[in-house]
Chains A and B, each alone.
Chain A
Amino acid sequence: MRRLAALFLIIGISASAGAATRSIKVAPDVDVPVSVHGASRQRLILWLPSEHGVLSAEHTIAAQLAQRGYEVWVADLFAARFLPASPSSLDEIPAADVAQLLQTAAERHKKIYLVSSGQGASRALAGAQLWQQGKSCRALAGAVLLFPNLFAASPEAGEAPRYLPLAGQTRLSVAVIQGELSPWYWQLDDLKAQLEQGGSRVAITTLPGIRDRFYFREDANPRERAAGRQLAAAIHRSMQQLPSIPPGKKP
């Protein structure tokens, strides 16, 4: 088991050259390897992996965000539980792992932002929801979700998509970044309505001429590669423009 953990650590280190690495205990015998880019007590980004795992492109974006004054934690939730990166593995990651990462982050940082893409959005919201329970949680400033997939299951042809219940139960400032060349682009009104059911406030940025997974897809075209290079700036802008949650009931 230790050899496997060491292997994951080596893989992580090679993928995140330039970042410091640390390990955060989220449960007995469960330590999340975290690559730390930059240093700031003011603003921390907790980047959670999607179903595609922790990607080298995400370390690059994290390093760019660090240059903008953020501390960025790229957390390998899969490695912590010795799971391969896949949609089904993502479902096996307890929300408590993310909640504990948020708790650890909140002990040292003033403002925390969650970032994830695809189905990783569900882990971000589930972790936020769990961590918020019974807290005033001012530290959690919001979440930036890249082409989020919050569907309960693959929609059937001609049927309205069903969303995960947590999409309508989380109270959070949310920024969605969605490429226009995606069937999901046409579902944005429904997604916003779902998220707002739980008291979230949602700002949407659409990227013309861009497909989902643009910053890491193998067949990315020049326009998508350019959007990938500008993604750190887009995330930074989205964080600055996160809608505020009106005063009301605590989550």
Chain B
Amino acid sequence: MKPLAALLLGLTLALNAAHAKELKPLAPRVPFSSLALPDLNGKAHSLADYKGKVVLVNFWATWCPPCRAEMPSMQRLKERMAGKPFVILAVDMAESEAEVRSFLKEIKPAKIDFTILMDKSGKTIKEWKVSVFPTTFIIDAEGLLRYSLLGGAEWDEYDAVQKIEALLPPAPSP
């Protein structure tokens, strides 16, 4: 019985691994727009502000279960990359600040402190042709789109971390 259980477990793990969502490489290109949006506190942001850093741009909404599910792993990714030139910009789809703040309270004690941008008019969602939620793009330090991913993911797992770290610019020599 034990070998059978082990075989089944192995098969399950292999299937899960095969279905794990991975970042899909994109032919490097400039992003669809400058992502000029305010954050939750009204501060203006633009991709140009982050030149020299790897940027994870995530399109999400509080009503989208896979978006909610991946947020804690995105926070863990941010913490894992602390001190490195890496930033997360999570673009909320056309909701109010109150709705987003309420969600952030709900998921406590998991603290979310990466930047959340508010796309109240849906303009950026159209410009970036987002038709699945969540959708995530990775932009390299030169400001070029390098990867995309449709659907939710565990952002602190090996594939994502390894691909994002490979995009980090070399540290300046002392």
Q: Chain A residues in contact with chain B, CB under 8 A?
A: 151, 154-161, 180-181, 183-187, 211, 219
CB distance from A166 to the nearest CB of B (A): 19
Contacts of A158 in B (CB 8 A): 26, 32, 128-129, 135, 137, 145, 148
- Select which of A151, A159, A185, A219 is within 8 A of B129 by beta carbon: A159
Determine the distance from Cα of A157 to Cα of B137 in the docked complex, in whole angstroms: 8
Residue of B129, B133, B149 touching A160 (CB-CB under 8 A): B129
Number of interface residues of B (CB under 8 A): 24
Neighbour of B131 across the interface among A161, A180, A219, CB < 8 A: A161
Answer whether residue B81 sits at the interface, using C-beta atoms and an 8 A cutoff: no
Contact residues of B between 64 and 123, Cβ < 8 Å to A:
65, 93-94, 122
List the B side residues contacting A181 at CB < 8 Å. Answer: 61, 63
In the assembled complex, the Cα of A159 lies from the Cα of B148 at a distance in Å of 11
Expressed in whole angstroms, the minimum distance between the Cβ of A183 and any Cβ of chain B is 5
- Do A211 and B32 have beta carbons less than 8 Å apart? no
Residue of B nearest to A211 (CB): B63
CB neighbours of B122 from chain A (8 A):
185-186
Interface membership of chain B positions 128-140, coded 1 if the CB is closer than 8 angstroms to chain A and 0 otherwise: 1111110111000
Q: With both chains docked as a complex, state the minimum distance between the C-beta of A24 and any C-beta of chain B, in angstroms.
A: 36
Question: Which residues on A sit within 8 Å (CB–CB) of B136?
Answer: 157
Kindly provide the distance from the CB of A223 to the nearest chain B CB, expressed in whole angstroms.
10
Q: Report whether A186 and B125 are in contact in the complex, using a CB–CB cutoff of 8 Å.
A: yes
Chain B CB within 10 A, most for which of A154, A155, A183: A183
Q: Verify B65–A219 contact, CB threshold 8 A.
A: yes
- A156 near B65 with CB under 8 A, answer no
Residues of A close to B128: CB separation below 8 A? 158
B133 to chain A, nearest CB (A): 5
**With contact pairs A183-B130, A183-B132, A186-B122 given, residues A157 and B150 touching in the complex (Cβ less than 8 Å):** yes
Q: How far is the CB of B148 from chain A (nearest CB, A)?
A: 3
Residues of B within 8 A of A151 (CB): 131
Which residues of B have CB within 8 Å of A155? 129, 131-132
Q: How far is the CB of B47 from chain A (nearest CB, A)?
A: 14
Q: Are A184 and B65 in touch, CB under 8 angstroms?
A: no
Q: Which residue of A lies closest to B122 (CB)?
A: A186
Bound: A159/B130 CA distance, A: 8
Q: How far is the CA of A180 from the CA of B122 in the complex (A)?
A: 11
A183 and B148: CB pair below 8 A?
Answer: no
Chain B positions within 8 Å of A185 at CB level: 122
Q: Give the complex CA separation of A193 and B130 in angstroms.
A: 18
Which partner residue on chain B sits nearest A185 by CB separation?
B122
Q: Would A154 and B126 be within 8 Å (CB), given that A161-B131, A219-B65 are in contact?
A: no
In the bound complex, CA of A161 to CA of B150 (Å): 13
Q: Are B133 and A157 in contact (CB under 8 A)?
A: no
